[in-house]
Amino acid sequence: MQEKAWGLYVHLPFCRRKCFYCDFASYAGREAQMAAYVRVLGEELAREGGALLRRYGPPRTIYLGGGTPTALPPARMEELLSALHPFLVGGADGAALAREGSGAAGEGTHQRRNGGSADEAVPAQEVTCECNPGTVDAAYLALLRAGGVNRLSLGVQTLDDALLARIGRIHTAAEARAAVRLARAAGFRNISLDLMYGLPGQTLAGLRESVRAAIALAPQHLSIYGLMVEPGTVFAREQAQGRLALPSEEESEAMYNFMTTALPAAGYARYEISNFARPGFASRHNLGYWQDVPYLGVGAAAHSYLGGQRYENLAGIDDYLAAMAASGSARREEEPLTRATSMEEFAFLALRTVRGIEKARFAARFGCSLRSVYADVIDRLAARGLLVEDAETVHLTPLGMKYGNWAFEAFLLDE
């Protein structure tokens, strides 16, 4: 077996209710399809994932995302975790091994049991489940832990009850706090919270209060997202009707500035444009996306990046199930990546991280130096204070991160 790092993403497209800002591939009121979906997902996992497992060994990271994975009833989640069991490091023994690794990502180590020499220590596998407050209790969290999940990503968004109702979330701030407490009691030592800013009616003072309350919960990781009004959402309709009062650009910028300084000051180092972590707790799965690590996505709307090409599964639950029944695959190849688009993607994705583009990795991947392709862009953005070049990397400054999209555009290549 040839060792190779890869990630596994599993998409669960079910939600109790659609949040007012959400345009993700997630659907409310589809409980009747959950059983069929989990069964078919298990088949896709066994076939597509099994091939990678046999070839490269277990994935370095597993991520259950959605939607709301924890919208699955316990019996369906148990079935899904059983289907994932062979993918845990150690295979049949993997659940125990992943549990051992529930501390800091990269901190815990254990002996590889599925190939490799007996004394070869490897970092524990990171197994994340996205989870919404209001959908889990102690028994459900215990079920996730027993199934090998060792990291929870909680969609908290804000700890202001009025705002939670305004954006269509199903939970209260008290339920978010309870979810963190219950997760700790269940043995989770790696918990991430999502927070949003730029919400309708949100003030800088209110945001400060939510951030303070989130930090008081002592998560290991925090992700921040600015509200975007996406077509087809409740907020897009409200905006069209003139009923969506958003903070001004200056207010949103003040919120961004506050979060990007308050979180590092509280011990959460920024490691990517939107992500902050205690030392050793950066999300290894998401880092894989930004560092050109291949991944397999299973389930409706899941994306894969394999063999240098990108693929996307059909997004609708009905379409996914129908395609799987008809041909055993719901996968469609996206626009093929050319050498130029591969370079662009490599650059954009790496630039999202604080580490930036590693020159040696770019050279190893493309057989030419970063400067031979991007010298003009690097010099131009560096002169404007958006980017810094050192011996090993090219990375964005805090100012460059703020205007990330503008900086990324400069990395587009003419073909």
Considering only residues 103 to 132 of the shown chain, the ones binding ligand SF4 according to CB under 6 A are: 132
Binding region for ligand SF4 (CB under 6 A) out of 17-25, 198-206, 209-217, 241-249: 17-25
Q: What is the pattern of x (binds ligand SF4, CB under 6 A) and - over residues 251-290?
A: ----------------------------------------
Taking the C-alpha atoms of residue 211 and residue 309, their distance in angstroms, rounded to an integer, is 39
Considering only residues 285 to 324 of the shown chain, the ones binding ligand SF4 according to CB under 6 A are: none
Interior/surface letters 221-231, b for 16+ CB within 10 angstroms, e for the rest: bbbbeebebee
Rounded to the nearest 5 degrees, what angle is found at the Cα of 217, between the Cα atoms of 213 and 222?
85
| 18, 189, 310, 402: which one binds ligand SF4 (CB under 6 A) | 18
Percent composition of the chain: helix, strand, coil (DSSP 3-state, to 5): 45, 20, 35
Cβ proximity to ligand SF4: between 28 and 269 the closer is 28
Please report, as a single letter, which amino acid is at residue 95: A
Is 355 a binding residue for ligand SF4 by CB under 6 A? The answer is no
Cβ contact 190:104 at 8 Å: yes
Count, residues near ligand SF4 per rule CB under 6 A? 11
Taking the C-alpha atoms of residue 320 and residue 45, their distance in angstroms, rounded to an integer, is 14
Is 56 a binding residue for ligand SF4 by CB under 6 A? The answer is no
Cβ proximity to ligand SF4: between 132 and 353 the closer is 132
Binding region for ligand SF4 (CB under 6 A) out of 18-26, 140-148, 171-179, 281-289: 18-26
| 8, 10, 12, 15: which one binds ligand SF4 (CB under 6 A) | 15
Cβ proximity to ligand SF4: between 169 and 221 the closer is 169
Cβ contact 68:14 at 8 Å: yes
Is 19 a binding residue for ligand SF4 by CB under 6 A? The answer is yes
Min separation Cβ 392 and ligand SF4, Å:
37
Min separation Cβ 152 and ligand SF4, Å:
14
Min separation Cβ 325 and ligand SF4, Å:
25
Min separation Cβ 155 and ligand SF4, Å:
6
The DSSP code for 85 is: G
- Tokens 């991430």 -> residue: 192
Q: What is the pattern of x (binds ligand SF4, CB under 6 A) and - over residues 139-178?
A: ----------------x-----------------------
Taking the C-alpha atoms of residue 360 and residue 364, their distance in angstroms, rounded to an integer, is 6
Taking the C-alpha atoms of residue 67 and residue 13, their distance in angstroms, rounded to an integer, is 4
Is 401 a binding residue for ligand SF4 by CB under 6 A? The answer is no
Angle, helices 138-146/74-84, rounded to nearest 10 degrees: 10
Cβ proximity to ligand SF4: between 18 and 371 the closer is 18
Concatenated DSSP letters of 225-272? EE----TTSHHHHHHHTT---PPPHHHHHHHHHHHHHHHHHTT-EEEE
Cβ contact 287:274 at 8 Å: no
Binding region for ligand SF4 (CB under 6 A) out of 61-69, 196-204, 261-269, 307-315: 61-69
Binding region for ligand SF4 (CB under 6 A) out of 62-70, 78-86, 205-213, 226-234: 62-70
Min separation Cβ 407 and ligand SF4, Å:
27
Cβ contact 69:62 at 8 Å: no
CA 32 distance to own-chain centroid: 27
| 66, 148, 200, 299: which one binds ligand SF4 (CB under 6 A) | 66
**Counting Cβ atoms within 10 Å, is residue 97 exposed (0-12), middle (13-18) or buried (19+)?**
buried
Cβ proximity to ligand SF4: between 150 and 157 the closer is 157
Taking the C-alpha atoms of residue 306 and residue 295, their distance in angstroms, rounded to an integer, is 6
Is 68 a binding residue for ligand SF4 by CB under 6 A? The answer is yes
Rule CB under 6 A: which residues touch ligand SF4?
A: 15, 18-19, 22, 24, 26, 66-68, 132, 155
